[in-house]
Amino acid sequence: MTDGMRLRQVRKSFGPIEVIHGVDLVVGEGEFVVFVGPSGCGKSTLLRMIAGLEEVSDGDIEIGGKDVTDLDPSQRGIAMVFQSYALYPHMSVRENLGFGLSMANVPKAEIAVQVDAAAKILKIEPLLDRRPGQLSGGQRQRVAIGRAIVRKPQVFLFDEPLSNLDAELRVSMRIEIARLHRELGNTMVYVTHDQTEAMTLADKIVVLRDGVIEQVGTPREVYEHPANTFVAGFIGSPRMNLLDAAGQGAGKVLAAGAEIDVPTIAAAGSGKVTVGLRPEHLVLTASAPGTLKATVDFFEYLGGTRYLYCQLPDGQSLVAEQRDGDDLAAGETVHFTWKPKDLRLFNPQGLKLV
């Protein structure tokens, strides 16, 4: 089905501590996959296992239909771009780009051709004779990507490649990487903390927590239909409001003193549930049954958007995002409504209720 990459029940232990707990993942040929998750959840470890820099404790990894679990990093058909760039400081850019080929005993003339081709793609031809120490952060990043391109890998691996760059450069390099993916068409696996990078670059987002995959899906799926409260809270900024509520029989739940219609489910029973509402889906309205009453704690004006930080009658907090409207003072009472299709419901285990 796929020539991209496949992980099967992959596990990793450092000594007695297991940090990756049986990960299964299929990546299609040419797909751009982004790993996201909180710090320490195992994104880098997983990527390094794919690269072959970290031994796989259990399970196996296939790249291009070939089992590479026990192969040397250089024989897996991968190339990696490190957060710290990891350029060889004593070599010129040209030597950095050609190092892998010269290790493979490729003839000098051939290396020159390949290096020039990669330099052209990344527009770093004028820098070829400089040392990494004489380059800016963005230029170094290009060289690091160039070094990966020269290897002609089946899979590119990126570990937070842009996190050392300033905000502006990050945006332009992000666009550059997207362009590169379009032009080269390789499979790419990309680790990031940055939600914007994840949403804009990914064909497929993999949300990890504590060494377990919580959800795999397109950016839209992950954002609009989070599989559980963890994903719901992790993807999106400000995060989705998750309110404790109680089922009230068919199609109704009680949250923060308000009886809310939930036509999407037949019966919530009388058990506890969690209601999920994204800040941008909350609309100010007049007091009415089925709306949420809240008190404004404070108001943030950011130009294009404004955030309302509110408190519900039962003490839970709520964030709402407004596109326009007047400033609101702390202490004011407001009412929110939303479109029924925007409401998400999770069971007490945190799983999505259909």
Ligand X SMILES: Nc1ncnc2c1ncn2[C@@H]1O[C@H](COP(=O)(O)OP(=O)(O)OP(=O)(O)O)[C@@H](O)[C@H]1O
Q: How far apart are CA 21 and CA 46, in angstroms?
A: 10
Q: Which is nearer to other proteins, 79 or 208 (CB)?
A: 79
**Shortest-Cβ-distance residue relative to Mg ion:** 44
Per CB under 6 A, 42 contacts ligand X = yes
Q: How far apart are CA 189 and CA 204, in angstroms?
A: 10
Separate counts of helices (H) and strands (E) for the chain: 8, 20
- Between residue 8 and residue 37, which ones bind ligand X under the rule CB under 6 A? 14, 19, 37
Omega before 238 within 30 of 0, i.e. cis: yes
Q: How far is the CB of 100 from other proteins (least distance, A)?
A: 4
Per CB under 5 A, 44 contacts Mg ion = yes
Q: Which is nearer to ligand X, 207 or 273 (CB)?
A: 207
- Between residue 186 and residue 205, which ones bind ligand X under the rule CB under 6 A? 193
Q: How far is the CB of 268 from ligand X (least distance, A)?
A: 35
- Between residue 134 and residue 153, which ones bind other proteins under the rule CB under 8 A? 134, 147, 151
* Sole binder of ligand X in the list 40, 89, 107, 185 (CB under 6 A): 40
- 115-140 core/surface letters (b: 16 or more CB in 10 A; e: else): beebbebbebeebbeebbeebeebbb
Q: Tell me the backbone φ, ψ of residue 100, rounded to 5 degrees.
A: -60, -45
Q: Which is nearer to ligand X, 41 or 87 (CB)?
A: 41
3-state secondary structure of 323: coil
| Both structure tokens of 347 | 């069971």
Per CB under 8 A, 13 contacts other proteins = no
Size of site (CB under 6 A) for ligand X: 11
Q: How far apart are CA 280 and CA 161, in angstroms?
A: 30
Q: Which does 212 bind (CB under 5 to 8 A by kind): Mg ion, ligand X, other proteins, none?
A: none
**Cross-strand partners of 290:** none
* Sole binder of ligand X in the list 7, 34, 41, 101 (CB under 6 A): 41
Q: Which does 137 bind (CB under 5 to 8 A by kind): other proteins, Mg ion, ligand X, none?
A: none
Per CB under 5 A, 83 contacts Mg ion = no
Q: From the CB of residue 39, how many other CB atoms can be counted at a distance below 10 Å?
A: 7
* Residues ≥6 apart with Cβ < 8 Å to 344: 225, 226, 232, 240, 275, 276, 277, 352
Per CB under 6 A, 249 contacts ligand X = no
Per CB under 6 A, 45 contacts ligand X = yes
**Chain centroid to CA 181:** 17
Q: Would you tell me which residues interact with other proteins (CB under 8 A)?
A: 51-53, 72-75, 78-80, 82, 84, 86-90, 99-100, 103-104, 131, 133-134, 147, 151
Q: Would you tell me which residues interact with ligand X (CB under 6 A)?
A: 14, 19, 37, 39-45, 193
Q: Would you tell me which residues interact with Mg ion (CB under 5 A)?
A: 44
